[in-house]
Amino acid sequence: MANTLGIGDRIPDFTLQDQDGKTVNIRDYIGKKKLVIYFYPKDESAVCTKEACSFRDSYADFTDEGVEVIGINAGSVESHHAFKKHHRLPFTLLSDPGNKVLKQFGIRNVLFLTGRETFLVGLDGKIAASFRGFLNGAAHAQKMLSLLHATA
C-alpha cells in the first residue's frame, strides 16, 4: 500500500460513477473548484451518517468558499443514490468498487473497516490539508471549514 497522501501531494487522476450512474472525472474540477474529498466506510452506518449530515448542514459554507464536497466509498451506485435521497445530501457521492481510489490516496483500514479521512484539495489539484478521525465523523466538516479558512 502506498503512503497516505500529504500536504503538497497531487491527487491521483480517477474516474468513478456518481449516485446517478454518471461518470465523474476528478480532473474536470481541477482549476475550477477547490475540493473536499472525504472517504467513509459505509452508507447508513451511524458515524458515516453523522459525517454526511454534518457536510450537508454546512454545505452552504463550503459553496460560499468555492468548494465542492465529494464523498467516496466502495458502496454501489444504488446504495449511494438511496443514502443521498434519504438524508437529502446536496453533494456528490462516488462509488469506488474495490476501494481502488481509496488505496491510491493511501488510506489505511481501521480494524475491519476502511478508513475515514478527508482531504482539502486546492485549485492546483494538490492537497492543502487533511484530517483523519475514524470515530468522530461529525468533526470532519467543521475541521475542513477551519482548515479552509486557515489556508485561505
Strands (E), 1-152: 15-18, 23-25, 34-39, 67-73, 92-95, 117-121, 127-132
What is the domain count for the chain? 1
3-state secondary structure of 25: strand
Structural domain boundaries, residue 72: 15-151
The pLDDT, as a whole number, for residue 39 is 96
The pLDDT, as a whole number, for residue 108 is 82
First to last CA, the chain: 32
Identify whether 67 is part of a domain: yes
The pLDDT, as a whole number, for residue 115 is 84
The pLDDT, as a whole number, for residue 91 is 98
Identify whether 3 is part of a domain: no
- CATH number of the domain that 74 lies in? 3.40.30.10
53 among known catalytic residues = no
According to DSSP, the residues that pair with 127 across neighbouring strands are 121
Choose the catalytic residue: 30, 48, 120, 141.
48
Identify whether 2 is part of a domain: no
According to DSSP, the residues that pair with 135 across neighbouring strands are none
Identify whether 6 is part of a domain: no
Identify whether 30 is part of a domain: yes
The Cα 11–Cα 82 span in angstroms is 28
The pLDDT, as a whole number, for residue 1 is 45
The pLDDT, as a whole number, for residue 46 is 92
Identify whether 8 is part of a domain: no
Identify whether 131 is part of a domain: yes
The pLDDT, as a whole number, for residue 2 is 55
Mean pLDDT by 10 residues, the chain (152 residues): 82 97 96 96 94 97 95 97 98 96 89 86 95 85 89 64
According to DSSP, the residues that pair with 139 across neighbouring strands are none
Identify whether 22 is part of a domain: yes
- Could you write out the DSSP letters of every residue in 48-111? HHHHHHHHHHTHHHHHHTTEEEEEEES--HHHHHHHHHHHT--SEEEE-GGGHHHHHTTPPPBT
The pLDDT, as a whole number, for residue 112 is 72
